[in-house]
Structure formats: structure tokens, C-alpha cells
Amino acid sequence: MTDPPQYLSPTELKEWQRRLAEANKNNILCHCRACDREWVASTNETCTCGSTRVEHIACWQFPDG
């Protein structure tokens, strides 16, 4: 451990944003409002029951704990 960074450098900020976007892309919690099924997907999928009434929630938005 050396001096703690006061601000993210442009490179670090870019990396942070990229990781956020990636987490969002790969960890989408899908919830079907028709059959109440829940699953994790990398895209905004429709449900296997055929319903398109699916909620898409990015997992990284959930608070820790």
C-alpha cells in the first residue's frame, strides 16, 4: 500500500466504466411477470413461457448485503 489515489485517473475511470457496462451486460436478472420465473442472462431475453413481459434488472444495481 502506497499513497491512496485521490481521484481515478482517466484510464482508471474508463476501466471502471467498462467493467460496470460489462457487469450490466452479463448479469441481468430477468423476472417474468407472467409466470414469475427468475433467471440471470446476458441479454434482455424473453421468458421460456413465451411471455415478453419480462423485467430486466442489472445485478450491479443491487446494494451490497
Task: Rule CB under 5 A: choose which of 22, 49, 52, 59 binds Zn ion.
Answer: 49
Q: How near is the Cβ of 5 to Zn ion at its closest, in Å?
A: 45
Contacting Zn ion within 2-31 (CB under 5 A): none
Whether the Cβ atoms of residue 53 and residue 32 lie closer than 8 Å to each other:
yes
Whether the Cβ atoms of residue 29 and residue 61 lie closer than 8 Å to each other:
no
Cα–Cα separations (whole angstroms), residue 14 to 9, 25, 42: 8, 16, 21
**Stretch binding Zn ion (CB under 5 A), from 1-9, 18-26, 43-51, 55-63:** 43-51
Binding site for Zn ion (CB under 5 A): 32, 34-35, 37, 47, 49, 51
